[in-house]
Structure 1
C-alpha cells in the first residue's frame, strides 16, 4: 500500500511494477474554501452547495460538496501517486452514495482490479469513505499506465486567498443578530448610494432610518432606481445644512440614537456636531475609526484617526486611542493590541510621531489610557507582520499582531485605509466616536455595502450605550436606596431633608 506523503519529487510506477491487489490511499478534509474554489473553477454555483440558507432548507439540511470534488480526489491519486506522473485516464464510472459535508474527512483507496498487458491498461476499484467509515463514492477507473518511469520535481502550488467580500459582510451583519434596530438620522440621502445604503441597512434589521432632506428629491431618487421607501419617516428640509442641523436636533431630543452622513460634505455635518452651543460634544475628543476586514490579515484592524483630526496633539491622541479601545471592547476584543505607527521603530528626536508614541506607551503604563496593550513606535510592516518584527529584532506582544493602528496624522491614515480598501479588497466600515451618539461617516464614493457595515458598528455601539445607561441608572437607584435607608433610620433623622432632595434629583435625571 502506498500512502501519500509530501515528498520533493513525484515518481510514477510503470505497468510492469504494478500487480493486481496493489493499492494507494489519499486522505483529505473538506473545507469551506474547497467548495468555493471548486465552484469558481467549474462555474457550478448550485445554491444547494454554496448558499447556506438555501442548503438548510433543502434535502440534506446542510452545505455539501460538489459530487465531483470527491471524484477529483480519485484523479489526484492516479496522477500524482499511483500509478503517478504520465498516467492517462481512459474511463471512469462512479456511484455517489451519500453527500460530503463541511469538515468530513474522506479516505480514498485505489486498488488494482484488472491489468491488460497488450495495451497497458489498468482497472482500479475506487472507494471513498468518510471519517465514520461510511461509503460516499464507489466505482471503477481505467487508466493507461506509464511505459517508462517518470520522476519529476513536485511543483509548489500558489497560495490562494478567496476574497469574498459579500460573505465577510454577512458575517459582520450577523454580529447584530437579535438586537433591535436603532433609530438613525440619515442626513441628506440625496444620491443613490447613500439612500440605498440606508434602505439596505433597514432591510437587514439594523436601523429604522429617519431620512432628512428635500423630500421631493429623496422620493425622486427612490422612484428612478426602484427603491421602496415603505413607511420610513422623511423629515422635509430645504438644504443639506438644514438637514445636518435637524439631525442634531433629533439626537438632542432623544428621537434618534445614531447619525449617518448622506451626500453632503463632511465639514457641513461635523460643524453641527461639534457646535459648542447645540452640538453633540462630550468630554472626549471626537475621532474617527476605520474598521477593516482585510482578506490577507487574520484579524480585524481598526485604523484611527484618518478622517477627523488632521494633525492631533499628544493629548488628543490619548482620546483617539481610548475611543478606539472602547470600540474594540464593544466588538469583542477584550484587550486590543495597539500599535502606535511611525516611519521607524526607534525613538528619534527628529520625528515627532516617535516621541508621541513613546509618551503614549508610558501614559498607558501609568493608567492614563486603559483597556489596551500599547507599543510604539512601530513601522507599519512591524505592526502587522511577525516576520518583519523578528527580522528587526523587535520583542513585543503587539508587533505583528496589531488590532488597532494609530496613525501619526490624517493624511497617512487616510492613505493606509484607502490602499487596503482598493488594493487589498478590504471590507471597510467607518464610525465617528467621542460624540453623544455614533456617527456613520462614510465617503460620498463609498458603496452601499460599506454603509451597511458601518451601520452594524453603529448598532453595536448604540446598544452598548443603552446597557451603560441602564447600569448607571441601576447603580444610582442602589445608591439612593442606601442613602434613603440611612436617612429614615433613628440615627440619621437629620439627613432626611438631604435624602429627599437627592431622591427628587435622581428621579428628574431618570426622567430625562
Structure 2
C-alpha cells in the first residue's frame, strides 16, 4: 500500500538511505511475512533479510512459495516456512504467530490488503489495541527538505474527531520512536487556513489543536487548519500572515479523509517523483504494507521504518520491566 515513483529515483540520493543505514544498526526483527507468493513480495522479504533488517517467517502455501523462489532465483534457504492453504488462511496464521510471540512485525505479501486487515482487526482474534489502527505514508519528496508523513490515506475512510486523534498520535509516536527526531511539526490540512462552519474539517483541525493544548495529543507541535500550500511553503505561509512553528515546514500532514489523502500521496508520487513507504500503526505490532508498484528502495524503506519502530517498542518494554 505504498507509492510508486519514477525509475529515476533508483539512482538519486535518498532520505531513505539514512533510514536503511540506521535500521541495519539495530537487532534484526523477526517478521511474519503473510502469503509472499509473487516475485515482488518474496524478493522484498529476502532483500530485507539479506540487508540484516528482518528475520522472515514465511506464511503461505509451501509449494507456491518454493516455486516462486525457484522461478525468480530468490534465495530463501534457512527461512522458516509455515504452511497455509490459501491467502485468508495465511493471514489468520500470521496473526496467530504474533499472538504466540513468534514475531515482532507483520509484512504483507501478495494477498489483498483487506484480507490481511480483516485478520488484524478481528474483534476476538485480531491485533487491536485501545488505539485506532491507521496508516502512514513515509514519503521521500525530492523537492522537500524533510522526510514527510501523510496520514491516513489507506485505512480510515471518514475518520471522526476521536479517530483523528489516534491517527495523529500514531504518526507522532512513529516519528519520535523511529529515529526521525522529536517533537514533529504536525499540519492538520483543510482547504483553507481559517475556521469556518462551512468546512467541517477546519473545525476538527482547531479542536485537535486544542486537544493537544490539553494533553490529549502529546509529543508533537500541532497547527491547523492549514491549507497545503502554507503547510509546506514558508513564503505561502508568510503571504497569508500565518505565524507558527509548523506553517511552511510541516513534517506530518494529517488529511481530512482517506480520499483526499490518497490523492495527495499519489500527486506527490507522480508529479513530484516521490517514493512512499507504507506502514500500519495502532495494532499490537507494526505492519509493513508493500505493493508490486513499489521501487526496491521503497520496499526496503518500509521494512527499515517498521524495524526501527519495532526495536524502539522492544526497548521500551525491556525498560518498563527493569
Question: What CA distance in whole angstroms lies between the structure 2 residues aligned with 1:448 and 1:294?
Answer: 16
> Secondary structure of 1:469's partner?
helix
2: distance between equivalents of 1:169 and 1:385? 22
Offset of residue 168 of structure 1: 3.9
1:356 corresponds, among 200, 204, 227, to: 204
TM norm structure 1: 0.60
Question: C-alpha separation between the residues in 1 aligned to 2:254 and 2:27?
Answer: 32
Instruction: After superposition, give the CA deviation of every residue in 1:196-215 in whole Å (9 maximum; x if it has no partner).
Output: 11111001100011111111
Residue 449 (structure 1) shift: 2.6
> Residue 24 of structure 2 contacts residue 51 of structure 2 at CA under 8 Å; is this kept in 1?
no
Question: Of residues 298, 303, 321 in structure 2, which corresponds to 1:455?
Answer: 303
Q: Does 1:407 align with 2:268?
A: no
8 Å contact from structure 2 (residues 16, 140) kept in 1: no
Equivalent residue for 1:467?
315
- The corresponding residue for 2:131 is 284
Please state if 1:433 is matched with 2:281.
yes
Alpha-carbon shift at residue 446 of structure 1 (Å): 2.4
Contact 2:15–2:147 (8 Å) recurs in 1: no
CA distance in 1, matches of 2:67, 2:287: 26
Q: CA deviation at 1:170?
A: 2.8
Provide closer, same or farther for how the CA distance between residues 355 and 201 of structure 1 changes in structure 2, counting only shifts above 3 A.
Answer: same
Q: Find 1:234's aligned residue among 81, 92, 96.
A: 81
Alignment of 1:334 with 2:182, yes or no, is yes
- 1:461 is displaced (CA, Å) by 1.1
Q: Mark the runs of 5 or more structure 2 residues left unpaired by the alignment.
A: 1-7
Partner of 1:213: 60
Moved beyond 3 Å, runs of 4+? 161-169
Question: C-alpha displacement at 1:442, in angstroms?
Answer: 2.3
Provide the rounded CA distance (Å) in 2 between the counterparts of 1:356 and 1:454: 30
CA distance in 1, matches of 2:318, 2:9: 42
- Within 1, Cα distance between the matches of 2:171 and 2:69? 36
Higher strand share: 1
Partner SS, residue 302 of structure 1: strand
**Equivalent pair of 1:168/1:427 in contact (CA under 8 Å):** no
| Structure 1 unmatched runs, 5+ | 1-160, 475-512
Following superposition, the deviation at residue 418 of structure 1 comes to: 1.6
Which of 48, 69, 90 is the equivalent residue of 1:222?
A: 69
Deviation at 1:225, TM superposition (A): 1.2
- Quote the residue 1:377 is aligned against: 225
**What's the CA shift for 1:444?**
4.1
Tell me which of the two structures has the higher relative contact order, counting C-alpha pairs closer than 8 angstroms and 6 or more residues apart. 2
In structure 2, how many angstroms separate the alpha carbons of the residues matched to 1:218 and 1:400?
A: 47
In structure 2, C-alpha distance between the alignment counterparts of 1:162 and 1:253, rounded to whole Å: 39
Shift of residue 172 of structure 1?
A: 2.1
Structure 1, residues 135-185: CA drift from partner, whole Å, max 9, x if none?
A: xxxxxxxxxxxxxxxxxxxxxxxxxx9984464443221111321111101
**Aligned ranges 1:262-273 → 2 under 5 Å:** 262-273=109-120
SS of 1:235's partner is strand
Matched residue, 1:194: 41
Q: Aligned with 2:32: secondary structure?
A: strand
Aligned residues: 314
Do structure 1's residue 320 and structure 2's residue 320 form an aligned pair? no
CA RMSD of aligned residues (A): 1.5
Secondary structure (helix, strand or coil) at the match of 1:464 reads helix
- Tell me the distance in 2 between the aligned counterparts of 1:170 and 1:471: 29
Q: Equivalent residue for 1:304? A: 151
Q: 2: CA distance between counterparts of 1:281 and 1:408?
A: 23
TM-score by length of 2: 0.94
Query: How far, CA to CA, are the matches of 1:263 and 1:421 in structure 2?
Result: 22
Q: Distance in 2 between matches of 1:472 and 1:204?
A: 30
Taking a change above 3 Å as real, the CA distance of residues 166 and 225 of structure 1, as seen in their structure-2 partners, is farther
1:389 correspondence with 2:237: yes
